[in-house]
Structure 1
Amino acid sequence: MTGSVLTLIPGTAFAGWGTPGKSNGQKTEASGGQNGTSIVSKVTFRGSTSGRKGGGTGSLRPVGNWAPPACWYEPRSAEEFANYVEDMYNETVNMPGQHSYAKASVGEFRDTYKDGDYKNYNLDKKDEGSWWVAVRDENRWMDPEAQACDKQPFWVEDGDTPPVDNALTPQLLAELAYNRIQLPTTEVTLAPEATTKVNLPTWAWLDKAKFKEVSVTAALNAGGLNIQATTTAKPISLKLEPGTKDARTYPASGECTINDDGSIGEPYVKGKAQLIPPCGIQYLRSSGGDTFKLQATITWEITWAGTGGAAGKLPNGAFGNDQDVAVQEVQAINR
Structure 2
Amino acid sequence: MRWLAAGATAATLAILPGTAIAAIPPDASRGGETNVGRAGQTLYSNITYSGSTGNSGKSGKGFVAADNWTPPACWYEPRSPAEFQAYVEGFYNETVNYPGQHSYAKTAAGQFRDIYKDGKYKNYNLDKAGEGAFWVAVRNKDRENDPAASSCSKPAEWVPNGTPPPFSNPVTPAILAESAYSRIAIPSSTVTLAPADNTKVNLGTWAWLDPSRFKPVSVTATLNAGGTTLTATVTATPQSLRLKPGTKDATLHPASGECPLNGGAGTPFTPGSENQTPPCGVTYLRASGNGTYPLQASVTWTVSWTGTNNTAPTQLPPGTFEGEPQNVTVQEIQAVNR
Q: Please, what TM-score do these two structures have when normalized by structure 1?
A: 0.83
Q: How does 1:1-335 map to 2 (within 5 A)?
A: 9=4, 11-12=16-17, 13-15=20-22, 33=32, 40-48=44-52, 58=61, 60-259=63-262, 262-310=263-311, 311-321=313-323, 322-330=325-333
Give the match for residue 54 of structure 1. none
Aligned residues: 308
What amino acid does structure 2 have at the position aligned with 1:153?
A
Aligned partner of residue 228 in structure 1, secondary structure: strand
Provide closer, same or farther for how the CA distance between residues 189 and 113 of structure 1 changes in structure 2, counting only shifts above 3 A. Answer: same
What amino acid does structure 2 have at the position aligned with 1:41?
S
Provide closer, same or farther for how the CA distance between residues 34 and 181 of structure 1 changes in structure 2, counting only shifts above 3 A. Answer: closer
Q: 2:301, 2:319 within 8 Å by CA — same for their partners in 1? A: yes
What are the ranges of 5 or more consecutive residues in structure 2 without an aligned counterpart? 5-12, 26-30, 55-59
Q: 2:53, 2:184 within 8 Å by CA — same for their partners in 1? A: yes
Aligned partner of residue 264 in structure 1, secondary structure: coil
CA distance in structure 2 between the partners assigned to 1:265 and 1:82 by the alignment: 56
Q: 2:75, 2:139 within 8 Å by CA — same for their partners in 1? A: yes
CA distance in structure 1 between the partners assigned to 2:315 and 2:281 by the alignment: 30
Provide closer, same or farther for how the CA distance between residues 300 and 150 of structure 1 changes in structure 2, counting only shifts above 3 A. Answer: same
Q: Give the C-alpha shift of residue 61 in structure 1.
A: 2.0
Report the more deviating stretch, 35-44 or 169-178: 35-44
CA distance in structure 2 between the partners assigned to 1:87 and 1:189 by the alignment: 54
CA distance in structure 1 between the partners assigned to 2:224 and 2:172 by the alignment: 12
CA distance in structure 2 between the partners assigned to 1:331 and 1:230 by the alignment: 55
What amino acid does structure 2 have at the position aligned with 1:318?
T
Q: CA RMSD in A?
A: 2.7
Aligned partner of residue 49 in structure 2, secondary structure: strand
Give the match for residue 28 of structure 1. none
CA distance in structure 2 between the partners assigned to 1:326 and 1:275 by the alignment: 21
CA distance in structure 2 between the partners assigned to 1:64 and 1:43 by the alignment: 26
CA distance in structure 2 between the partners assigned to 1:98 and 1:163 by the alignment: 34
What amino acid does structure 2 have at the position aligned with 1:296?
A
Deviations 1:201-239 (A, max 9, x none): 111112322211101101011101011111001111101
CA distance in structure 2 between the partners assigned to 1:17 and 1:316 by the alignment: 34
Q: Give the C-alpha shift of residue 34 in structure 1.
A: 5.1
Q: 1:17, 1:41 within 8 Å by CA — same for their partners in 2? A: no
CA distance in structure 1 between the partners assigned to 2:279 and 2:119 by the alignment: 71
Deviations 1:90-113 (A, max 9, x none): 332233321012112212211222
Q: Give the C-alpha shift of residue 157 in structure 1.
A: 1.6
Q: 1:59, 1:183 within 8 Å by CA — same for their partners in 2? A: no
CA distance in structure 2 between the partners assigned to 1:49 and 1:273 by the alignment: 40
Q: Give the C-alpha shift of residue 58 in structure 1.
A: 4.0
Provide closer, same or farther for how the CA distance between residues 294 and 102 of structure 1 changes in structure 2, counting only shifts above 3 A. Answer: same
The structure in which a higher percent of residues are helix is 2
Calculate percent identity across the aligned residue pairs.
Answer: 55
Q: 2:63, 2:186 within 8 Å by CA — same for their partners in 1? A: yes
Q: Give the C-alpha shift of residue 7 in structure 1.
A: 5.2
What amino acid does structure 2 have at the position aligned with 1:45?
Y
Q: 2:305, 2:316 within 8 Å by CA — same for their partners in 1? A: yes
CA distance in structure 2 between the partners assigned to 1:330 and 1:216 by the alignment: 49
CA distance in structure 2 between the partners assigned to 1:49 and 1:157 by the alignment: 35
CA distance in structure 2 between the partners assigned to 1:173 and 1:87 by the alignment: 27
Q: 1:17, 1:136 within 8 Å by CA — same for their partners in 2? A: no
Q: Please, what TM-score do these two structures have when normalized by structure 2?
A: 0.83
Aligned partner of residue 265 in structure 1, secondary structure: coil
